[in-house]
Amino acid sequence: MREFDFRASAAKLLTNDIVNMLGYIHEYKGRQNLFIEEKADMLSHLLEIAKIQSTEASNRIEGICTSGDRIRALVKEKSLPRNRNENEIAGYRDVLATIHENYDDIPPRANVILQLHRGLYQYSGMGIGGLFKNTDNVIEEGLEDGIKHICFCPAAAFETPDMIENLCNQFLREVDRGEVDPLLLIPMFVLDFLCIHPFNEGNGRMSRLLTLMLLYRSGYIAGKYISIEMLIERTKDTYYDALRASSVGWHDGVNDYMPFVSYTLGIIKSAYGTFAERVEHLTTKGISKPERVRLFIENRLGKVTKKDIMDACPDISATTIEKALGDLVKNGTIIKIGNGRGTGYIYNR
């Protein structure tokens, strides 16, 4: 059975790039935690938006979709689910809420993971929630000719309960020792979880929920306000490439965690950077909305899209942003480049 030696694996990861990312995230964690403590009331709007984005993005990665209006109604619990997709979306909403509210009391233990998985399928009526897989499964990808290619063969079903138990025990042991940065331990744990692939369904969504839970337990709570799941969805090709690269040789214990750890740290770094931007905009609410649009473009290098502005300034309506962009183009403050979906704007320096 595959063994887990996090300490030895982590020692191989401390390259200059990884150390720099760790330093960046540590710095922003300290600065932004102070803001969260002092300005919690100002962040409630960001919290609600991130819940919607996280629920939508994590499910959409797995092909579980509904309309934007339905997502908002489900997450705000203003409507009951109407079909199988919405049942699963509602389950994700509830587990996400549980993690947001109780992460300190949810240790990464096998029985806890089963409880969270049960919550994920509580509305589905499928009878698979809270149960480890009962048959061996494979990870496949579809080729252009319609033929499916097996990318990876996870742990066998009969090995799964013991393997998950061992994974959790080894992870908690290293956390208690305090010798390895949790930011390295967490993506290694998640990579191993995905390679075990312990459930018949829901492994990807569970991995993202566990990522949030473990980050929150270690004090990295930017994911409450900036949707990490949405950042993963936007880069899902890179995500799958990193997962594939880090799973090679996994059964023999010779896999390279670096691609997946580097990718995950990049996502966390991006979340903290985006959070810093949102905090900046919240603290400048006395400035008019058109002026905030101008400042956002001025302070960004390269092309900025309308969606970039909407994501960074969720309290400004799309109509207001469109008008501000039109006025800024007209008076020469910014330059419009591209057309249609490729439309972007740069500051006229």
Q: Give percent of the chain with pLDDT exceeding 70.
A: 93
Region 331-343: mean pLDDT is 88
The two tokens of residue 333 are 């403050």
The two tokens of residue 343 are 């439309």
CB 335 within 8 A of CB 348: yes
> pLDDT tier at 48 (50, 70, 90 boundaries)?
confident
pTM: 0.81
pLDDT tens figures, 79-136: 999 999 999 999 999 999 999 999 999 999 999 999 999 999 999 888 899 999 999 9
> Looking at the predicted structure, is the pLDDT value of residue 267 above 90?
yes
> Looking at the predicted structure, is the pLDDT value of residue 77 above 60?
yes
The reply to whether 6-281 and 288-347 are identical in fold is no
Closest CA to 332 of 344, 321, 348: 348
> pLDDT tier at 285 (50, 70, 90 boundaries)?
low
Is domain 288-347 in CATH 3.30.465.10, yes or no? no
Average pLDDT, the chain: 90
DSSP reduced 3-state for 183: helix
Give me the pLDDT at residue 279, please: 75
Please indicate whether residue 146 or residue 268 has the higher confidence score (pLDDT): 268
Region 313-331: mean pLDDT is 89
Give me the pLDDT at residue 291, please: 84
Q: How many whole angstroms separate alpha carbon 173 and alpha carbon 97?
A: 27
> Looking at the predicted structure, is the pLDDT value of residue 211 above 80?
yes
Q: Left, alpha or beta for 152 (phi > 0: left; psi -120 to 50: alpha)?
A: beta
Amino acid 145 reads: D
Please indicate whether residue 268 or residue 43 has the higher confidence score (pLDDT): 268
Closest CA to 213 of 154, 155, 165, 171: 171
pLDDT tens figures, 169-184: 999 999 999 999 999 9
> pLDDT tier at 349 (50, 70, 90 boundaries)?
low
> In the beta sheet, which residues pair with residue 337?
344
> pLDDT tier at 293 (50, 70, 90 boundaries)?
confident
Q: How many whole angstroms separate alpha carbon 329 and alpha carbon 73?
A: 36
The two tokens of residue 192 are 């191993």
The two tokens of residue 179 are 């010798």
Q: Give percent of the chain with pLDDT exceeding 90.
A: 68
> pLDDT tier at 243 (50, 70, 90 boundaries)?
very high
What's the maximum distance between 2 C-alpha atoms anywhere in the chain?
A: 68
Q: How many whole angstroms separate alpha carbon 270 and alpha carbon 20?
A: 14
pLDDT tens figures, 24-40: 999 888 877 777 766 66
> Looking at the predicted structure, is the pLDDT value of residue 298 above 70?
yes
Poorest-pLDDT segment among 35-49, 107-121, 138-152, 308-322: 138-152
Give me the pLDDT at residue 145, please: 60
Residues in the chain: 349
Q: How many whole angstroms separate alpha carbon 176 and alpha carbon 221?
A: 20
Domain boundaries, the chain: 6-281, 288-347
CB 300 within 8 A of CB 346: no
> 6-281 adopts what CATH topology?
Fic-like fold (1.10.3290)
